[in-house]
Amino acid sequence: MKKKTVDPLRLPDGMPEFIEQSIRPALHAHGGDLTLTDLRDGVLYFRLTGACHGCPSAWLTAEELVKLPLMAHFPLLRDVVVDNDMDEDMIQLARDVLSKKRVFP
């Protein structure tokens, strides 16, 4: 199963550049990144990756470093939402545990 990502050509004008220049550097400073997973009916869905994925402060990061800047710069967005679907790494970990390739103490 491949992770779903948004085709950059479907994004509003200037959004890919804004993300690269304003959002990614802030996430990278925390050891994280993001993947855009869908743009549907004015709602942009994203997944935090790297150190930001699963971090106890991820909700704050998602709100302050991703959602608020995007909503302020792109008023056509109705919302910016964290995609809580399980990512491929978690699916593989579950497969390994269930097949007993990986055992936890």
pLDDT at residue 2 above 50? no
Q: What's the pLDDT at 93?
A: 65
Helix ranges restricted to H, 1-105: 15-18, 24-29, 58-61, 68-73, 88-98
Q: Which residue has the higher pLDDT, 10 or 18?
A: 18
β-pairing, 43-50 vs 79-82, is: parallel
pLDDT tens digit sequence for 41-88: 999 999 999 988 877 788 888 899 999 999 999 999 999 998 865 556
Domains in the chain (CATH in brackets) are 8-98 (3.30.300.130)
Give the global pTM. 0.73
Whole-angstrom distance between the N-terminal and C-terminal Cα of the chain? 28
**Model confidence at 4: pLDDT above 70:** no
CB 23 within 8 A of CB 44: no
Residue scoring higher pLDDT (57 or 9): 57
pLDDT for the residue numbered 92 = 64
Enumerate the β-bridge partners of residue 46: 36, 82
CA distances from 88 to 19, 47, 66, 93 (A): 23, 12, 22, 9
